[in-house]
Copies of this chain bind each other. A is one copy, B any other.
Amino acid sequence: MSTAGLFDLDSIAPFFQADSLAVIGASTEPRKQGGRPVRYSRLGGFRGKVYPINPGASEVQGMPAYPSLSAVDDPVECAFIALPAPAVEAAVRACISKGVRAAIIVSAGFAETGDRGRRYQDRIVALARASGMRLIGPNCMGAMDVARAFFPTFLPMWGDERHDAPKVGSISLISQSGAFGAHVYELARARGVGFAKWISTGNQCDVQVADCIAYFAHDPATRTIMVYLEGSPEPGKLIAALRLAREHRKPVILLKSGRSAIGAKAAMSHTGALVGSDDAFNGLCTQTGVHRAQTIDELLDIASACVAGKFPSRREVGLVTISGGIGALMADYAEQVGLAVPPLPQGTQEKLLKVFPYGAARNPVDPTALWARDVSVFGHSLRALLGDGGHEVVVLFASSVGTIPALRDAILTQVRAVRDQFPDRLIVVSMIGPAEVIAQWRSEGFPVYEDPRRALEVVAALAGFARLVAGKERLHPIPRAPHTPRIIPGEALNEFEAMRELECAGIPMTPRRLCGSRADAERAAASLGFPVVMKIVSPDIPHKSEMGGVALNLRTRREVAAAYESIMKRIKKGAPKARIDGVLLARQIAHGIETILGASIDPTLGPVVMFGIGGIFVEVYKDVAFRVAPFPVSEARAMIREIKGYRILAGARGRPPVDLECLARAASRLSLFAAANAATLVSVDINPFMVLPRGEGAFGVDALIERVRR
């Protein structure tokens, strides 16, 4: 199922692909916002046309200038608007008249400044929409296509401050924040990492981060996508765009700031209280194969390592170290990031120990200080791991040894020769020393990190992308449920109604009866089979236990009758005005594991499903997993395996494993239900959802559905 149809990619193309650019507010000052695109086009050698628009100058930085856009004879595809906010509307109108297809508004003073600015911004968007012109910004830094030297941006780049021209690469960056994008650009520049395309979306009044991800998913020049995200106005588009990137086998590394406040409504229900959208966002990342970075360093470390295009298919690593201590530390790190450090074959170890008798040859390989006498120990060590050891990745810790003037060329020659012998393998280096030496290693395609921990983290992340890049992360089609009930707005459903709706949606619920009288209850108990539980059903009594509205473990008809009377008495006394829909009788389930299934409408992601182990521990350990709805059973299985308590479900400490298939099916069905009712649902809380031993099924025992009020 392709979701490309959600995006009008052709209309976004001119932001990168245009052959003509008007700079509206072009400045004669090459360092001003309106001066930079002109300067960059000239310095970069842009082959298209650039039209500086400036009513007060006949030329701008040596180029003929135009008093207005309409004074340009030829057609203009893309416009860069760097004017004070009040002048932007007229400029947008001029663009529309001229038939411009794409306009970038870098000016500030719009929605980010309050309601007045927002209304002004909305007016401009309405104008553009009516004409079909796309907008980026306002309050952004623009965009660029480095290979084409197309620079409608005021991102600080070269000139006398930065001596080198932007470098062409295979990474494309989308940053909602201009300053963030500029920061990463500068960090990447210092590391010699180039970009294919770069864009900052600012207030994203029209083109959103999601549109750009979708565009880069299709862009042949982009192999890796970096994203900085604050929030997404249309969650569905973001999710679809990330799926597109996966379909196109492109790693996405994403940094998101700002944990959204938990919706006040959602906090009312128990499950809701656990739904932080940050956790849900982690679920989305897992689901779409996105690597969510925590730090800017991590974002760039991993994206730049993707450039080599080598993604180890096994989660293991070979280690070479010049320090036994740091070898031990690297082995610790490998374990922490989930990489095995398998030993070399015995024969290979013996061969290596002939070269360095006092060293270590198992893995980590430590040739000791012998490198000071003969740098070929590096070659021997690397070859042993890549050859006999069959490793796809080796991390070489070289401390400052690799940058010692007397040795560095010889060491690089050694390592280069091994790389040439194993061109499909990856050698990651951890090394410190002068920037120019590090730069040389990087320019030859070796990812270099100062701290060995980061080298190991990068290897783990590359391994995490392997299946995606190989096209093995197939998108499972989302099945259609046999019948998905539609929820209409209104008060919270009572428990009996909630269970009925969920059962219709394909989520098994415990056998039960709604009973209007004592006699009804007695008959129902007998037909359900003892023991039973009895619960008051009333829209006005959310906390049944506290009101004395629950009776457990009723073993006989007589106990049922007595319980009915005493519940009714307590309720009459405690909540005389409550509407009573009856009592709910259900078979008491004595075994199985308590879990929780919940759904809510996340403010930034839309419908999400939560799963966790139930009881008091879920609150304390917050051992829950999230997924964006809808999702297939295969994804539900992954969600269930993700929690720590999976061991309990799988049969820890001699317990029988539970009915995981039934649980996974229920979670997937709940996701279909939540997705179908995203507009009217507030939350679903199935707590507990009892999972019985394998083959015996699983049942919701209590359920709450909260709806949007009418």
Contact = CB atoms under 8 A, between A and B. Distances in A.
B183 A326 contact: yes
A325 B177 contact: yes
Given A297-B450, A451-B295, A645-B620, A257 B177 contact: no
Interface string A644-664: 110110001101000000000
Given A257-B325, A452-B296, A620-B647, A400 B186 contact: yes
Contact of A180 (B112, B326, B358, B453): B326
A406 B161 CA distance: 9
Contact of A108 (B368, B619, B623): B368
Contacts of A296: 326, 329, 451-453
A590 interface: no
A445 to B, nearest CB: 23
Interface string A289-331: 0000011110000000000000000000000001111101101
A190 interface: yes
A616 B324 contact: no
A547 interface: no
Interface in A435-469: 435, 450-453
A326 B177 CA distance: 9
Given A259-B332, A405-B161, A400 B183 contact: yes
A59 interface: no
Contact of A453 (B156, B295, B406, B619): B295
Contacts of A399: 179, 182-183, 186
B322 A258 contact: no
Contact of A653 (B113, B616, B652): B616
A578 interface: no
Contacts of A453: 294-297
Contacts of A648: 616, 620
Contacts of A113: 358
Nearest to A297: B451
Contacts of A626: none
A432 B112 contact: no
A374 to B, nearest CB: 16
B620 A332 contact: no
A481 interface: no
A176 interface: yes
A358 B324 contact: no
Contacts of A329: 255, 257-258, 296
- Specify how many copies of this chain sit in the oligomer: 2
A297 B449 CA distance: 11
A63 interface: no
A189 to B, nearest CB: 9
Contact of A328 (B156, B230, B297): B230
Nearest to A229: B325
A652 B255 contact: no
A183 B432 contact: yes
A52 B332 CA distance: 42
Interface string A373-408: 000000000000000000000000001100011100
B616 A187 contact: no
Contact of A621 (B175, B325, B623, B655): B623
B400 A257 contact: no
A228 interface: yes
Interface string A112-127: 1100000000000000
Contacts of A335: 259
A112 B358 CA distance: 8
A179 B358 contact: no
Contacts of A368: 108
Contacts of A452: 296
Nearest to A321: B179
Interface in A250-284: 255, 257-259
A176 B405 CA distance: 27
A616 to B, nearest CB: 6
A569 to B, nearest CB: 24
A323 B451 contact: no
A688 interface: no
A408 to B, nearest CB: 11
Contacts of A619: 647, 652-653
A400 B161 CA distance: 11
A109 interface: yes
A326 B406 CA distance: 42
Nearest to A407: B161
Nearest to A259: B332
Contacts of A183: 323, 326, 399-400, 432
A190 B450 CA distance: 12
A592 to B, nearest CB: 14
A647 B616 CA distance: 10
Nearest to A405: B161
B325 A176 contact: yes
Contacts of A187: 432, 450
Contacts of A180: 323, 325-326
A280 B616 CA distance: 27
Contacts of A190: 432
Contacts of A644: 620-621
A406 B399 CA distance: 35
Nearest to A366: B179
Nearest to A108: B358
A399 B178 CA distance: 12
A183 B369 CA distance: 13
A655 B230 CA distance: 39
A25 B559 CA distance: 95
A591 B645 CA distance: 24
Contacts of A177: 323-326
Interface in A162-190: 175-177, 179-180, 182-183, 186-187, 190
25 contacts: A108-B358, A108-B369, A156-B404, A176-B325, A177-B326, A179-B325, A179-B369, A180-B325, A182-B399, A182-B400, A186-B399, A186-B433, A255-B329, A257-B326, A258-B332, A296-B453, A616-B648, A617-B617, A617-B645, A619-B647, A619-B652, A620-B644, A620-B647, A620-B648, A621-B623
10 closest cross-chain pairs (CB), A and B: A177-B325, A179-B323, A257-B328, A257-B329, A180-B325, A295-B453, A258-B328, A186-B400, A183-B399, A297-B451
Given A113-B358, A177-B326, 11 more contacts: A177-B325, A179-B322, A179-B323, A228-B325, A257-B332, A259-B332, A294-B453, A295-B451, A297-B450, A616-B648, A619-B653
